[in-house]
Structure 1
Amino acid sequence: MPTDILAVRVRPGEIRLARVDGNAHLRDFAVYRTALADGSGQVGGIYLGRVKKVVPALEASFIDLGLDRNGFLGLAEARPQQHMGGKSAGDRISDHMHEGQNILVQVLAAARDDKGSKITRRLSIAGAHCILTPGDPGVRLSKRIKDDTERNRLRTMVVGKLADDLGCVVRSCAIDVSEDVMMREIKLLQAHWQDLQARAKDTQPPSFLSGEDTPPVQFLSESGFSGLAKVVIDDPALTKAVEAELHALGMVPPGGVVRHPSGRDIFDEYGVADAVAGVLDPVVRLKSGGSLIIEETKALTSIDINAGGAAAAQNSTRGQDLAMATNIEAVWETARQIRLRNLAGLIVLDLMPVRGQDAVGKIVNTLKKALSHDPTGPQVLGTTKGGLLEITRPRRRAPLSHILHGPCSTCGGNDASSALTVGLAGLDRVLAEVWASPALIPALRTNPNVVNALKSDGVEALFDIEIKLGQSLDLIADENMPAGTFQVEATKDHA
């Protein structure tokens, strides 16, 4: 019986989503910034771009997407679908495009640091159960669908239902799905592709053509619908939009899509407010008394298992048993933290020392099992000679730390993104104060960096809250306010 609840908290500039199990345990978490106008490119977004520059020395081109930085299109992603021949194809980037050419592309990875978005010509349109692949005909099934009978059923269901130039990848969450649901989804995806093509013909580049679904539906498409009991949202407009999208997909959960009544914070209601507040804490406590120490850098993420109560007498039999138990507990929590923080790239886990390859093998197999339900498909590479356990995970969205703290979180900088996080928290507090005291006419006092962030990247959030307040919000730039702090003040009360 499904028990998971997706709690969606909507505030000016951002949407926070917490997937909570039946025991009020935070299973998955994401933040979508609706305010951020950083020009990084929406992952999955499809653009009509213009080839700005072809660079033969790099076997790549730079595509103007209308963003702050041009997108990067390497040779492997520049080939049309029918010419995907790998490294031995013998072609050059100039064989496939020229400067000034209009081109349909999709964002694979958002811009980071000083690098533009990574893009591809290999377009894909994702649904709940399958992924449409324009220009790449054929039906392929997820390797996670193991049962031969089910694979044959799904293949038979889809073959012959697509236009000649379209292909389809059937996702693992399609197991046991009915033919009616699958056909409805394929029809919707094909209609979306036809609409996108029509808009591309009538649009001048550079132009954004198509993005993902609403954040809750996008989140569920990535994390999976299995086990979901209901969706609860504290915003009426988003509630209606999500309900319509899930109904169209035939994926409305048993408990439906419900609006959360105002008056109590939705994360408090479902018992995960503290877990959400501490989701990026560098130290994660384990029940055994040990802990994980998580540090993100540009090159990799390191996760150190701190022994805690298992530190004493590690060379003794009891010490080895404690070390083994702590390692096993730690790898389960590591898998959970990887998803909560959306860690990607190379992840290195520093295990507590254990004796023998059998013990190490048990830890590795436990980690593989813990990661097996991660929809991104992380890979456990094994252990190094130094006893480090290596993991790689594909990068789909920005790490949570980049969204909340900014890309310089590891160097302690107060960049515009982290200032924006503080500013959005301030706007959230303003709303809470006004709801508690409707007669209040508020002002927000904070550091000048935060004010600047709200007036630039956060300007849409600022407009949003002013609409809700029915008046402009006075922002007071106070150089004496420490970075990361704010204060809601009353400017005057209604007479």
Structure 2
Amino acid sequence: MSNELIINSTQNGCRIALLKNKQLVEFHQESDGNRFNVGDIYLGTVKKVVQGLNAAFIDIGYEKDAFLHYLDLGPQVQSLNKFTKLALSKNSMSAKLSGFKHEPDINKLGKISQVLTKNQKILVQVVKEPISTKGPRLSCELSLAGRYLVLVPFSNAVNVSKRIGDANERKRLSRLISSIKPENFGVIIRTVAEGKDVKELDKDLKNLLQIWIDGVKNLKTANTRDKVIGEMNRANSILRDVLNESFDSIVVDDKELYEEVRSYVNKIAPDKEKILKLYQNRVKVFESFNIEKQLKTSFGKSVSIANGGYLIIEHTEALHVIDVNSGNKSNQEDNQETTALKVNLEAASEVARQLRLRDMGGIIVVDFIDMRKSENRKKVYDRIKEVMKDDRSKHTVLPLSKFGLLQITRQRVRPELNIATREVCPTCNGTGQITAAISIADQIEKTLDHILTAQNEKKITVSLHPYIHAYFTRGIFSRRVKWFLRYLKWVHLIEDSSLALTEFSVLNNRGEAIET
């Protein structure tokens, strides 16, 4: 099984695709202007305390105040508030918290008005990005995630991931971390720490401690709404969480971003630096790896599955509904029960992929094709649990009901990813009436004639839609061959399915765009 991470740099940020056996399983878009990412720590101000909700609204700079519930304060919030107050008063205390005296834990069943007051400054961490009409969701239980460990200030507990099942390994890791962790810091040991030696774990712990120390320095000079500690960019955070032995390729198409990723990979897994490659081909990286086409076919309302079945995916504010249909698969089996089972098993794998791909969260209801036998419903339930093991978001899957409905809850921490798969015709603007008499093919040929004769360019490359590419290159004596005979210059054509049917771009021999 091969895992590949493809990173495409764009004008507004970057696009990140995770491929498993050449199939797209995760897709992320990161915008340069995107604020309030999960993991960011801000200095906020309490704007309103709402007794009825037992919660407070915090101003961290978003257009809507962020939400902080009493249960998200954490037992050590009084210690955090004390530390924040001392830091803002520029007290010369140690950022390493050595000798820091803890305040008593708050009551689990207490009221938020006993802890927070209006206009109070408070250190908070984003746990859920702004979604729909809601502002960010916050927590005061600060944590800094690393490759193998999670550092938790103002705690002393050492916890081991439940996914590490070996009792001896759990004891080894717990004893090891307890012996090296600094005072007044708790640690959560991540699943990937299994089997790692003390040197690697200690290095990760020191990196996290340094991030905290740098954050405390920022806090001492911070104003309200300022970001004190920022989560790393999306590409590096994905590498931190998923990079393992099964990865055989990381491809980046931008030199600056490549150096940034190389530096991070060298820090967390030096042995993996050799699989990092800088993509320098003229064909766009997402085209080369067939990602653009997969995006177009995977984000529509209707999604095809193997052997003729398909899914219909509907989104509402309250929940997501996925309907499984057999399509022309219904003619391929002997009886209805066998058909339903085979389609449902194939659909289960695609449902799990779609949840990761679109980052769908909240409540998801899947309407599988009805099956009479309970053992068949059990097979479908087992399949979807198996294929969702690789999903890094917290999720719960309930068994199928007698009506064939499967309920899934999946943690939602950022807005669902949605990519438009329908395009408005740029020629008629969706009206169905074409006002321009010139066709796109004629327009391209007139542009080429001007560039090759009037501007006397020697080597040019044209990126265009695959349909137009086929029109110019089909047959032995194609239109492109006719251009060569007319101008005695070969025109290099590149398919780009990200372009609309009537869009094209022309590059010179240095890869620079030629104005048309």
> What secondary structure does 1:334 align onto?
helix
Q: Deviations over 1:176-211 (max 9, x none)?
A: 233322211111001111111221111111211222
- The residue number in structure 2 matching 1:398 is 415
Structure 2: how far apart are the matches of 1:287 and 1:215? Answer: 31
- The residue number in structure 1 matching 2:161 is 142
Q: Tell me the amino acid that sits aligned with residue 6 of structure 2.
A: A
Matched, 1:259 2:278: yes
Q: Deviations over 1:156-189 (max 9, x none)?
A: 3311222221111111122223332221111100
Unaligned runs of 5+ in 2: 80-103, 425-446, 458-499, 507-512
Please show how residues 212-361 of structure 1 align to structure 2 within 5 Å. Answer: 212-250=231-269, 253=272, 255-311=274-330, 318-361=335-378
Q: How far does residue 52 in structure 1 lie from its aligned partner after superposition?
A: 1.4
- The residue number in structure 2 matching 1:118 is 137
Matched, 1:24 2:18: no
- The residue number in structure 1 matching 2:225 is 206
Paired residues of 1:61 and 1:93 also in contact (CA < 8 A) = yes
- Mean CA deviation greater in 144-153 or 180-189: 144-153
Paired residues of 1:351 and 1:388 also in contact (CA < 8 A) = yes
Structure 1: how far apart are the matches of 2:193 and 2:124? Answer: 27
- The residue number in structure 1 matching 2:51 is 56
Structure 2: how far apart are the matches of 1:94 and 1:180? Answer: 45
Higher-Rg member (1/2): 2
Q: How far does residue 264 in structure 1 lie from its aligned partner after superposition?
A: 1.7
Q: Tell me the amino acid that sits aligned with residue 242 of structure 1.
A: V
Please show how residues 44-83 of structure 1 align to structure 2 within 5 Å. Answer: 44-81=39-76
Please show how residues 90-101 of structure 1 align to structure 2 within 5 Å. Answer: 90-101=109-120
Matched, 1:161 2:156: no
Q: Tell me the amino acid that sits aligned with residue 182 of structure 1.
A: L
Identity among equivalent pairs (%): 28
> What secondary structure does 1:155 align onto?
helix
Q: How far does residue 43 in structure 1 lie from its aligned partner after superposition?
A: 1.7
| RMSD between aligned residues | 3.2
- Mean CA deviation greater in 224-233 or 127-136: 224-233
Structure 1: how far apart are the matches of 2:125 and 2:242? Answer: 21
Q: How far does residue 82 in structure 1 lie from its aligned partner after superposition?
A: 6.7
- How many residue pairs match? The answer is 415
Q: Tell me the amino acid that sits aligned with residue 282 of structure 1.
A: K
Q: Tell me the amino acid that sits aligned with residue 257 of structure 1.
A: L
Paired residues of 1:285 and 1:292 also in contact (CA < 8 A) = yes
Matched, 1:376 2:371: no
Q: TM-score under structure 1 normalisation?
A: 0.77
Rate the CA distance shift 1:382–1:118 in 2: closer, same or farther, 3 A.
Answer: same
Which structure has more relative contact order (CA 8 Å, sep 6+)? It is 1
- Mean CA deviation greater in 170-179 or 348-357: 170-179
Q: How far does residue 152 in structure 1 lie from its aligned partner after superposition?
A: 2.3
Paired residues of 1:3 and 1:228 also in contact (CA < 8 A) = yes
Structure 2: how far apart are the matches of 1:122 and 1:243? Answer: 32
Rate the CA distance shift 1:95–1:259 in 2: closer, same or farther, 3 A.
Answer: same
Paired residues of 1:313 and 1:319 also in contact (CA < 8 A) = no
Structure 1: how far apart are the matches of 2:166 and 2:249? Answer: 29
Rate the CA distance shift 1:251–1:321 in 2: closer, same or farther, 3 A.
Answer: farther
Q: Deviations over 1:52-101 (max 9, x none)?
A: 12122221111110222211111111244378999973311111111121
Rate the CA distance shift 1:293–1:182 in 2: closer, same or farther, 3 A.
Answer: same
Structure 2: how far apart are the matches of 1:91 and 1:494? Answer: 66
- The residue number in structure 2 matching 1:448 is none
Structure 1: how far apart are the matches of 2:377 and 2:105? Answer: 36
Rate the CA distance shift 1:88–1:331 in 2: closer, same or farther, 3 A.
Answer: farther
Rate the CA distance shift 1:292–1:393 in 2: closer, same or farther, 3 A.
Answer: same
Q: Tell me the amino acid that sits aligned with residue 5 of structure 2.
A: L
Paired residues of 2:127 and 2:136 also in contact (CA < 8 A) = yes
Paired residues of 2:265 and 2:273 also in contact (CA < 8 A) = no
- Mean CA deviation greater in 127-136 or 77-86: 77-86
Q: TM-score under structure 2 normalisation?
A: 0.74
Q: How far does residue 118 in structure 1 lie from its aligned partner after superposition?
A: 0.6
Paired residues of 1:230 and 1:253 also in contact (CA < 8 A) = no
Structure 2: how far apart are the matches of 1:224 and 1:194? Answer: 26
- The residue number in structure 1 matching 2:199 is 180
Q: How far does residue 119 in structure 1 lie from its aligned partner after superposition?
A: 0.5
Q: How far does residue 46 in structure 1 lie from its aligned partner after superposition?
A: 0.8
Paired residues of 2:78 and 2:115 also in contact (CA < 8 A) = no
Rate the CA distance shift 1:101–1:331 in 2: closer, same or farther, 3 A.
Answer: same
- Mean CA deviation greater in 261-270 or 223-232: 223-232
Paired residues of 1:184 and 1:249 also in contact (CA < 8 A) = no
Q: How far does residue 221 in structure 1 lie from its aligned partner after superposition?
A: 3.1
Structure 2: how far apart are the matches of 1:87 and 1:353? Answer: 50
Paired residues of 1:46 and 1:208 also in contact (CA < 8 A) = yes
Structure 2: how far apart are the matches of 1:160 and 1:246? Answer: 27
Rate the CA distance shift 1:87–1:297 in 2: closer, same or farther, 3 A.
Answer: farther
- Mean CA deviation greater in 197-206 or 152-161: 152-161
Q: Tell me the amino acid that sits aligned with residue 216 of structure 1.
A: A
Please show how residues 346-495 of structure 1 align to structure 2 within 5 Å. Answer: 346-401=363-418, 404=419
Q: How far does residue 250 in structure 1 lie from its aligned partner after superposition?
A: 3.0
Q: Deviations over 1:194-239 (max 9, x none)?
A: 1112211111112112222122111233445351123211111111
Rate the CA distance shift 1:362–1:87 in 2: closer, same or farther, 3 A.
Answer: farther
Q: Tell me the amino acid that sits aligned with residue 9 of structure 1.
A: N
